[in-house]
Chains A and B, each alone.
Chain A
Amino acid sequence: MNRIRVRPGRRTRLGAAVTAIALALGGCGLGSGENPGAASGPAELSGELKGTITFQTLQLKPTFTDYINGVIARFEEAHPGTEINWVDIPFQGAQEKLTTDATAGTLPDVVNLNPNFAQPLEQKKLFLDLAKVAGDVKDDYVPGAWDAFKVPGADGAYGFPWYLTSEVTMYNADLFAKAGLDRDKPPTTVQELEQYAVKLAAAGRGQFYGLHPALENSFVTTLAKLGVPLLNEQGTKWTFNTPEAVRYVEQLKALYDAKAVPADSLTQDHSKEIEAYQAGKIALFPSGPNFLTIVKENAPKVAAVTKVGPQITGPGGTPNMSVMGLLVPAASKYQKLAVEFAKFITNAENQLAFAKIVTILPSTTASLKDPYFTDTSDGSVESQARKISAEQIAKARNLVPLQFDDRVKKVVIGKVQLAMQGKLSAKDALDQAVDESNQILANNG
Chain B
Amino acid sequence: MTGRRWYTPWLFLAPALLIAATFSIGPFANTAVLAFTNAKALGGGHFTGLANFIRMGQDDTFWLAMGNTALYVVVCVPLLVTLPLLLALLVQRQVPGIGFFRAVFYSPVVASMVVVGLVWTWLLQSDGLVNWVLQSLQVISGPLPFLTDAQLLLFSAMFVTVWKGLGYYMVVYLAALANVPAELHEAAALDGAGEVRRFWSITVPTIRSTMLLVGILSVIASAKVFAEIYVMSNGSGGPGGQSQSLVFRIRDVGLGLAGETGYASAMSLVLFICTVGFSIIFFRMSRER
- A residues sitting closer than 8 Å to B (CB atoms) are 1, 14, 17-18, 21-36, 38, 95-96, 98-99, 102-103, 117, 119-121, 124, 206, 262-264, 266-269, 272, 405-407, 410, 413-415, 417-418, 420-421, 423-424, 440, 443-444
Contact = CB atoms under 8 A, between A and B. Distances in A.
Contacts of B165: none
B193 to A, nearest CB: 31
Contact of A268 (B127, B234, B279): B234
A-B CB proximity, top 9 nearest: A29-B27, A29-B31, A35-B43, A26-B24, A28-B268, A32-B39, A418-B240, A414-B240, A417-B239
Interface of B: 1, 20, 23-25, 27-31, 34, 37, 39-45, 125-127, 143, 145, 147-148, 216, 220, 224, 233-242, 247, 250, 252-262, 264-265, 268, 271-272, 275-276, 279-280, 283
Interface centre among B255, B257, B262 (most CB of A within 10 A): B257
Contact of A26 (B1, B25, B143, B216): B25
A417 B272 contact: no
Nearest to A102: B42
B257 A32 contact: no
A400 B170 CA distance: 51
B136 to A, nearest CB: 15
Given A25-B224, A266-B148, A14 B240 contact: no
A31 B254 CA distance: 10
Given A21-B220, A30-B31, A32-B40, A264 B147 contact: yes
Given A99-B42, A121-B257, A410-B252, 11 more contacts: A17-B276, A17-B283, A25-B224, A28-B268, A102-B257, A120-B258, A264-B126, A267-B234, A267-B239, A407-B258, A443-B260
B239 A25 contact: no
Contacts of B238: 267
A420 B268 CA distance: 32
Nearest to B30: A29
Nearest to B255: A96
Contacts of A36: 43
A433 B238 CA distance: 16
Nearest to B246: A28
A407 B145 CA distance: 26
A406 B241 CA distance: 13
B169 to A, nearest CB: 16
Contacts of A272: 234
B180 to A, nearest CB: 21
Nearest to B28: A26
A271 to B, nearest CB: 8
A120 B42 contact: yes
Contacts of B283: 14, 17
A262 B24 contact: no
Nearest to B282: A17
Contacts of A95: 255-257
B113 to A, nearest CB: 14
A398 B88 CA distance: 59
A389 to B, nearest CB: 28
Nearest to A13: B283
A237 to B, nearest CB: 17
